[in-house]
Amino acid sequence: MKELAELESRQIQILHRIAQLELSILPQSNNSHSNGLSTTTTEARLSAVLVDGGVKDFSFKRVPSDYYDWSLEARRDILAAASIHHLCKSIVLVNTQAASDITDCSNRQNSKYYVVVVQYTARFSADTVKFFLYTLNNGKIPKKRFNLRLAPEDISHKLTGFEHNGVTCVGMKTDIPVILDEAIVKLHPDYFWLGGGEIDLKLGIRTSEFINFTKPFIVNCSGS
């Protein structure tokens, strides 16, 4: 077991060295919110959206193409995140049992779609969100009308404009209501990472500013 642990540690170190080499050969950016690489069109656009929305404490980080093959510990290190619990993702959900006249996101309390931000270390509970939405509507909509499921990738892309593993709550094509897991709000320090609009682009942001910007529903919707 000790030998296996040492081997895994060496592999992670090698991956980090490769990543650093990959990052070092790319041109540097003069953008104060860019962490290490030249600013892309996506990064520039989303930075402008954030700044216009009053967000000041955020940064973008380009990661290697095999980032999602890495362990959470390795991802934490390349992003310089405070912990693996500070690594989060945005997932688009669709209410498959919504009434036939509910087809878009115009009603935040009873939307056809929601974007949920959860930690990679957490276990998302769709039933908790279902109960939250039922309560949010004061029980006027039957529980059977709430059935949250992961939206198909083509629908997610159409609504957000972002690919799988690149989805973020910033600059989406559609103004989809956001649900933020309460566990993220309780993180210390209050700065977390999520998708940045491209598969290999990540966004770090101060939690309080994220909340002010996205106006999310804060829901205890996961377990570790």
What integer is the mean pLDDT of 113-142? 96
Q: Indicate if the pLDDT at residue 105 is higher than 80.
A: yes
**Is 165 or 217 the better-scoring residue by pLDDT?**
217
Q: Where are the alpha helices (DSSP H) in 25-169?
A: 41-52, 72-79, 126-136, 153-160
| 46 contact partners, CB below 8 Å, separation of at least 6 | 60, 168, 170, 171, 196, 197, 203
What would the two tokens of residue 134 be?
Answer: 């039922």
Summarize pLDDT for 15-32 with one digit per residue, the tens: 555 545 544 444 433 344
DSSP 104: S
Q: Which pLDDT score, from 0 to 100, does residue 32 have?
A: 42
What integer is the mean pLDDT of 168-185? 97
Q: Which helix (H) or strand (E) holds 100?
A: none
Q: What is the mean pLDDT of the chain?
A: 88
Q: Indicate if the pLDDT at residue 9 is higher than 60.
A: no
Q: Which pLDDT score, from 0 to 100, does residue 169 have?
A: 94
Summarize pLDDT for 44-65 with one digit per residue, the tens: 999 999 999 999 999 999 999 9
With bands split at pLDDT 50, 70 and 90, how would you rate the model's confidence at 40?
A: confident
What integer is the mean pLDDT of 70-84? 98
Is 53:213 a contact under the CB 8 Å cutoff? yes
Is 58:171 a contact under the CB 8 Å cutoff? no
131: left (phi over 0), alpha (psi -120 to 50) or beta: alpha
Q: Indicate if the pLDDT at residue 113 is higher than 50.
A: yes
- Tokens 């799988």 appear where? 164
Is 205:166 a contact under the CB 8 Å cutoff? no
What integer is the mean pLDDT of 187-195? 98
Q: Indicate if the pLDDT at residue 101 is higher than 80.
A: yes
Q: How far apart are CA 116 and CA 138, in angstroms?
A: 21
